[in-house]
Amino acid sequence: MDTLFYITMTLLGFVGSFFSGMLGIGGAVINYPLLLYVPSALGVGHLSAHDVAAISMFQVFFASLAGVLAYQRRSGTEGSVLHKGLVAYMGTSILVGSLIGGVASGGLDADGINLIYGILAVVAVILMLIPNRSAQSGSNETLQFNKFIAVSAAFIVGIVSGIVGAGGAFMLIPIMLTVLRIPTRTTIASSLAIVFISAIGGVIGKLIGGGIPLWPMVFTVIGSLIGAPIGSKVGAKLDVRLLRYGLLILIGFTAVKVWMPILVK
């Protein structure tokens, strides 16, 4: 039973981090519902919402780190370039927010965590449906964005993502695309770096809050370290429209999955 459980955790970590690298997300947007429902559905184990939030935060940390390193190795050769200014402004703000959210999550029950996640997913879907016709073009050196909106949005996303154990990219990417009007490939590459910084605060918050399931987390992280570089390589070769639609479908699916039990209750 334990062997099957840990194999399942490794595979789920791989799946989540594959999409992390491909779409520029931390992976929690898909890993949260997978970890919450798949082990129970297969009869190999059970994880509470608090367990899943803690595991997801560590998975996001390592998956985003692996994804950033993979993108950096190919920076400038395949059109996937980090924007250092964007990462600095949004990364610093989201770090503070995720630290606050990670500590605060210990005082919420499972239903509260699931509700917050469900609301975030719905908002992200709505933002992704907004046409992005006015995205900027040109090099990263000439890229301009509203710093106040970037910092404020990152701080708010950091708080709520720290609560549910997510890096926040599934909210950051729609904001960067539709509000800040950042080009898709720059958004995907930069968001992974921002998510990694966010995960630092989230991990510290989870460590302070306690209650981390050690071995399930370890095996999930192992899968993440394998899947993220593969996903980033695939994502760099895909059309930007496919990446955007893929993220939209992914977020929409997880939103429905999380809201179903909430609405039933």
Q: Name the nearest CA neighbour of 155 among 98, 85, 86, 193.
A: 98
Q: Which residues contact 106 (CB under 8 A, 6 or more apart)?
A: 209, 210, 211
What is d(CA 182, CA 213) in angstroms, rounded to the nearest whole number?
Answer: 38
DSSP class of residue 180 equals: S
Tokens in use for 253? 């699916």
Average pLDDT over residues 29-38: 81
Tokens in use for 246? 């893929």
What residue type is assigned to position 150 of the chain? Answer: A
DSSP class of residue 141 equals: G
CB 94 within 8 A of CB 198: yes
The pLDDT of residue 49 is: 80
Average pLDDT over residues 203-209: 78
Average pLDDT over residues 196-224: 83
Count of domains forming the chain: 1
Most confidently predicted of 125-129, 166-170, 219-223, 250-254: 219-223
How many CA within 13 A on the CB side of residue 43?
A: 0
Distance (Å) of CA 49 to CA 70, 80, 121, 233: 31, 34, 16, 31
Is residue 114 packed enough to be buried (19+ CB in 10 Å), middle (13-18) or exposed (0-12)?
Answer: buried
**pLDDT tens digits, one per residue of 159-200:** 887 777 666 777 788 888 888 888 877 887 788 888 888 878
Residue ranges making up the domain that contains 179: 2-264
Looking at the chain, the whole-number percentage of residues with pLDDT higher than 70 is 85
**pLDDT tens digits, one per residue of 97-121:** 888 887 777 777 777 777 877 787 7
Radius of gyration of the chain (CA): 17
Q: By three-state DSSP, how is residue 77 classified?
A: coil
